Structure 1
């Protein structure tokens, strides 16, 4: 018997032992699982969502979540919040109508324009806007551009945003920020641009939400973190602590402390604490909000809780700050949706998040 024949015989015996033996079949199943789970986890680390039952629809849900932004429930500027914000906005005081007019002329969202101006100028107090009439951090060949009047600066900012949003199609806060304030830019040695997207998003929320290019349909669950990336999906995964295959009862969303975490939907706070004992301590600082139709949303690992039990919260109201309290490997938000009762049946949160508005 030559070497090839010996090899074939041994292979035949191996296949027989494996496929016609219960223990062998189990071993094969475990091997396949160990191969596939890392593949799914790799997809999750890239922000992709994979659900064995319906991969296409859930991937679409995740893609919509990765490019969206927070919206006003009625698609209109909240005039009360708008007036209050501009009344305490340094040199911008009294220019609220000018921002509205400029945004309308350029076909852009006034809320987004105001949020960017507030962020770029420390809400109307920076030297750039006080001395150079530059409300948008606009750069020229010689550095920050100088305008003769604040009105000229606001007009120039409107044109710039029109070019980026309308002409270039950068309709989400993250896409716009990647160009308007690119991370790693040579003129940003202290990495301030990394705060641009979360800060502008928080300012948008404080002004009542976007009025254009919205992905949130009224009444649905909003994304608790803007432009979200999913780090770990709902369902089967490899536990990062034990290395064993386990069931993940929510989704882990990427964020960095102390970025704000927002209420996914209006409701009443029914839990807001660091659980004193038991398995719930793994959540760290956790907030649970009760919604209509027997639904609950949960926000875990917060570095800070910003609400109290019994408090009524609006959709997109801040509930706390991103963190890594409890059983956590680093800054992120663990987000769950429960049905029936608090800490009851956990369901896939991605199925409840808003989808893009139809064009």
Structure 2
């Protein structure tokens, strides 16, 4: 097979890139090692920046998001048994975020791709990129016991942190930066109404908690746990009791509970790989970077990578210029590191650390207290939360 852009991975990054390329008349194929059902079963983030929502509209798949998504003009931070609202809309000149699950984004992009007749190969085993340091890169993969080859102009590695794209790069050509946090998030989904109409981030002596939602009838809750704890350690009753302890009294009393639909533990880490281009291989999304979920930046960073990468491909094929592709890594990483900084700040401000001590807790309290006495500090938080410009 011959194509212009071969994409590894059918998560949101790969699917969004493929949709934009197909709409622009640029031929592409997506290879995915998992089944379509498995990809759609992944439970991930659910807060979209305005820029991400606009890209879904540009890709022609935003209609259901606007029908079913929940626009949010702010969110709450709680500490000292008090609840404070961050007015995103007022602090950023009218910007907001959209609460719409990543699973739904993936579903919409898959449906859009099928409607356009673009090619996706699921359960493609042993995908391997070759020759990306030459002018003639290609991919190989196995399907139903047969080895296939895809010749292409470029390869887009959108296959996540554990994917083959980044691992195919020679070690000497890539530098990685990582911080692993000494705790995780235990998250559950339950078919109960959310405790508030916007997200609630809680700082508490027992640890961090987050009250989120997927709809007006489905809630998503998280609590900070130690790195050693497992899902089996947390029956539903213990989880709900712990969430209540970490919320202001009035909020805890109004919270509805019910059996969990899904329950999982997510480790918390920061990770960046530099550069994000190696010859004719480009990395995008989790293949190149991971952020703590505290700042709601993971999916949005993947979308911003796609913004720069798609613009580069469009310039290359339509305007006959390689300038966008040559600038891709530098542009993407500048935004990545700003998001890493914000996610690091949110994580350090809202969580309890094992070695924090009494002094560290006082500093954390002072940080939160100052935040709500300074419009400038709140504006910094709001600008980053709604998403910096591309």
Q: TM-score, normalised by structure 2?
A: 0.20
Higher relative contact order (CA 8 A, sep 6+): 2
Computing the radius of gyration from Cα coordinates, the structure with the larger value is 1
